[in-house]
Every structure is written in structure tokens, then in C-alpha cells.
A and B are shown apart, each in its own frame.
Chain A
Amino acid sequence: MSIHEEEQEIIGEFEMFDQWDDKYQYLIDMGKSLTPLSEQFKTDDRLIRGCQSRVWLHSELKDGKVIFAADSDAIITKGIVALMVRVLSGHTPKEITEAQLPFIDTIGLKEHLSPTRANGLVAMIKQMKMDALALQAKVS
């Protein structure tokens, strides 16, 4: 599935929710289902700055595709992290750095986040793209 197709699928899932609590319950459940990051990867150099709760991001290149693994100590944040991993993981560095990610605005993710969390989301995306760039640079 391409990044675009993955985004469309998430938009479709969110369209089913009328109520705020359904959206949040979805994020909470997404957070719970995200495979926890192994403790050895929860290091300070993997912490994303700009998040009020702690978010760790681990990235590696496998067959030319970036594989992301991430975690957070707050479950709603972890749900948002899970969404981002679902959309961006398993794609080439070029696809990741070029992704515009319109689904974030479409599903109203930012308006449901406090400004600090919205900033955290921006920081998270920036870090994922930077990691992709760095991994690409390492190979080429």
C-alpha cells in the first residue's frame, strides 16, 4: 500500500466517527496495539524534542525501505505515533521525505490536539523525515 492509500484508509476509518470520544477511543486503542519499543531503544538520543510526553523513535533501513518503530509514555500520544508509523513505515526514504500527509488535516488530528501536542506532532514528522534522509545518505 502506498503512503497515499494508507492515508485514504485512515480517512475512511475516521469518517465513521461523529463523536470526539470515538476518535479518542480509536487513538487510545491504536496506542495500545502498537508494538512497544524494546527498552534498549528508549534512549535519550531517540527522544523527540518538542513533545510534552516522551516519544522515542527508532529507524532502520531494510531492503531500501525505512522501518520505523516508536513508543510513548502517554497512550494518546502513542496512538498518534502509531498512525504515523502505519503511514510512513515500509517506504523508501524518497517517498517519506516527499510525503505531504494531507490526512492529518482531513481527519482533524491537529484540532483535537492541544497546541503543545500539535507541535509535538510536527516535531515527530520532522524527525521521521530527517531519519529517512540520514538513512538514505548512509547508503548512497
Chain B
Amino acid sequence: MNVTTENEITATAAFDVMRYRADFPILGRHVHITSKSPGRQLVYLDNGATTQKPQQVIDAITHYYSHYNANIHRGVHALSQEASAAYEAARETVAHFVNAASAQEIIFTRGTTESVNLVAHAWLRSRLNAGDEVLITAMEHHSNIVPWQLVCEEKGATLKVVPVNDNGELDYEAAAALLTSRTKLFAFTHVSNTLGTVNDVQRLTAMAHAQHIPVLVDGAQAAPHLRINVQELGCDFYCFSAHKTYGPTGIGMLYVRGELMREMQPYQGGGGIISHVTFEKTTFVEGPLRFEAGTPNIEGAIGFAAALDYMNAVGLPAITAHEHDLLTYTTAQLEQIEGMRIIGTAPCKAGVISFVVGNLHPYDVGTILDQQGVAVRTGHHCTQPLMQRFGVPGTVRVSFGLYNTRSDADQFITALHKALKMLA
């Protein structure tokens, strides 16, 4: 995928980042305020962990609780009907955001992690037998490793792993060889949370589908940065979390392509998912509600939709281009630093830059950056096998959001120089 088409470059020029920044109240705050110090202006570069929320999202949640809080899909009264309508409208918004064929293909979950677990238990578990295989890649987040590992252990199946090369790109030929008649599912990330590598989902999906192997795509790090079109990608399952796309925590989505949802068993039992219960037998409703037992995260769904509306209003191509500019601008400055090793140098990257400097511990660098108001992530980023692959205990990771500026990047670089000087 080429993310710098001519249209998108034009979009960058017109991107009024200061206007969008004003929508995020938290970006104005200072950190490390003490009796002696006014603190430091926050430079938030940990968007890969979670994004900040625009006022529009905060208002949507407040408005729900102030005006139409009620349980959904149960009450005959006006508030319940308004809340139910808003919850289902949110499902439509999510479906539209990923270009699903229907809102009935969207299940609300607690986030990407629950989405993966849901597929592991509600879909894969009953299909997996001893000797079968689940294929993942070496760049997966723990949440796209462990759920499969647990089911494989239980069933006597094997987890297979597509390797990555020194640039942090998948070995597509190895993937082709690892997809066999034993493979029951191919699960991989769209964008690596540690390396920033954008994987060719269409190509990988086509390879799997040629052998009738279903595909799950972890979109947690892609949805904030790239336009997602599940029909074009062709995958069977796609998931991401709202809190990484400027929405609230505790809610996310799972897209399940068409007829596949009918092959899934209920994941958790409870209210709201049944059509009839006796002590002998329970029959379940059809569609996504079947997988949303209990009172769901209603304000979460409403906030999620408000966040996606916000991203749509800003415009995905413009966001992609703006963040790509920040990525190349910052990378160029990092490359000037002696001893710098950027982990993840694929030509097509989105959102994040991971690095180590000399033999400095990422925690030390992160701590000194933090004291200067610069928020980054340090550690293994829940990708320990990938850290082993690159022979580092962890990295410092800067990750961009639509509200970041070149000035943020400059302040980060200045703070980094100070950290390196202190730690030298």
C-alpha cells in the first residue's frame, strides 16, 4: 500500500491540525506540577497505547447519561427506546466505518482482546482437533497469541508462526508454505504495534482463502491510521478497540463476515441473548446480540460512534497523510542520532516508531522524557517474542495521533537529546 498518493499529499497541506487540537481538552494540560514548579506542557506521543478523546466524544457520553440513560432492548418506555436506537445506530456507524455489508456483521465487545477471545472460543474451539494448526505471525501482540495458544493446548493443536525479516516485514513466502490443510485459522495484525509495519492484508487473505482457511485480522493499530474496508480486504474477522480511535475504553468491535456468524456458538450465557429459556433448554437470538450477553456498555457504544464520526469528519485520508508526514519527519531526525537503532524499518509503516539507543535501557530514556512532559511507551509492548527476535529487552516507542504536530516531534527530539546527555 502506498500511503502517499497525490491526493493525500494535497490533504496534508490542507490539514489544520491546530483546529483539531483544540477539540482535545487534555492536550492543554501540564504534568509534574509541584509546589516549586508549574510543570511541563504535555507532549502526548503514546497514542499506540490509547488516544485522547475529543470534546465531541466526552459530550456524547455526558449527553447519554444526562438525557436518555436506560437499559436497552428490554423496556417499552421512551428512554429505553431512545437508548436502544442510539446503541443500534452506533452499530451502523461502526459497520459503515469498516464498510461492512451490514450492521448485523458487527458485534460489540470490550475491545480487541475480547474480540480475539470470542473468535477463539465461539468459533475456533469447536472446529479445532488434535494435529490441527493455527497460524499467526512473529509480530503479534500477546492478545493475538495467548487466546490461540490456550485453545491449541486444550485441543492438542499447534501454533505456527510466520517469521519476520530484519526490517520487520513478514516473510510472505514462508506464510504461503505454512498455510496447509492442517491450518484452521490464520490470525495476523494489520499494523504492528511495535514495528509500525503495515501488512498486506489482501495478499495474506487471498493466500489463506485459496486453501479455504478463514482469516482474522487484528486491526487495533490500523483503525486509528488507515481507512478500513473489510470487503476489499476480504478477511473473515476484523477487530479493533474504540479507545485507540479517540473513543472510550472498555468497548470495541468484532466484524464477522456474513454467514460465518451463524457458525458461532454463544460465548457467554446471560440476559439479552436468548429467545426462550427453560431449565431444560435455551434457544438463542440470531445475529450480533447473541454475543452481547448482559447489559452492554451502552455509553461506550455511543462514545465509540461519536469518535468514528469525528474521524470521518476529519477525514481518514487526511489523517493518514498527516501522520505519515510526522512519521517520516521524526524518523529523519532520529536517524541523525549516534547509536540510534530503529526497530522496524519496513517501507510501509503507520503510527509508531520504536527504537533503542546504544545500550541504554528504554526505561531510563522514557523516565527522563517523562520528566520533560513527553509521554512515550517503553518496554516490550506486549510483544515479547518480537523483542527476542530483535535481541532487545524492550524499546522506546513514540506513536502519533491526528492531533500531533511537527512541534511535538521537535520537543520530543530535544527532550531525547537531553536524556541521552544525562544518561551518557
Contact = CB atoms under 8 A, between A and B. Distances in A.
B379 interface: yes
B174 interface: no
Interface string B394-424: 0000000000000000000000001000110
Contacts of A74: 361, 363-364
A25 to B, nearest CB: 6
A21 interface: yes
B364 A75 contact: yes
A75 B363 CA distance: 9
B129 to A, nearest CB: 37
Contacts of B393: 73
Contact of B363 (A20, A25, A77): A77
Contacts of A117: 363, 367
B423 A75 contact: yes
B46 interface: no
Contacts of B34: 111
A114 B375 CA distance: 12
A21 B364 contact: no
B370 A114 contact: yes
A53 B363 contact: yes
A76 interface: yes
Contacts of B423: 28, 75
Interface residues of B, number: 17
B41 to A, nearest CB: 15
Contacts of A114: 367, 370
Interface in B272-306: none
A52 B363 contact: yes
A52 B379 contact: yes
Interface string A1-22: 0000000000000000010110
Counting contact residues on chain A (CB < 8 A from B), the size range is 10 to 19
A28 to B, nearest CB: 6
A18 B370 CA distance: 18
B77 interface: no
B268 interface: no
Nearest to A18: B36
A119 to B, nearest CB: 13
Interface string A82-115: 0000000000000000000000000000011010
Interface of A: 18, 20-21, 24-25, 28, 52-53, 73-77, 111-112, 114, 117
A24 B368 CA distance: 8
Contacts of A112: 371
A55 B83 CA distance: 51
Interface string B352-395: 00000000110110011011000000010000000000000100
Given A25-B422, A28-B422, A73-B393, A20 B371 contact: yes
A6 B282 CA distance: 70
Nearest to A111: B34
Q: Rank and list the top 4 A-B pairs by shortest CB-CB distance, nearest first.
A: A74-B361, A74-B363, A53-B363, A76-B364
Nearest to B360: A75
B32 interface: yes
Contact of A24 (B36, B360, B361, B422): B422
B32 to A, nearest CB: 7
Contacts of B367: 24, 76, 114, 117
Given A24-B371, A114-B370, A73 B422 contact: no
A112 B367 CA distance: 9
A21 B368 CA distance: 8
A73 B361 contact: yes
A66 to B, nearest CB: 28
A73 B370 CA distance: 19
26 contacts: A18-B36, A20-B32, A20-B37, A21-B371, A21-B422, A24-B367, A24-B368, A24-B422, A25-B422, A28-B423, A52-B363, A53-B363, A73-B361, A73-B393, A74-B363, A74-B364, A75-B360, A75-B361, A75-B364, A75-B423, A76-B363, A76-B364, A76-B368, A112-B371, A114-B370, A117-B363
A52 B366 CA distance: 12
A49 B363 CA distance: 16
Contacts of B363: 52-53, 74, 76-77, 117
Nearest to B36: A18
Nearest to B379: A52
A98 B142 CA distance: 42
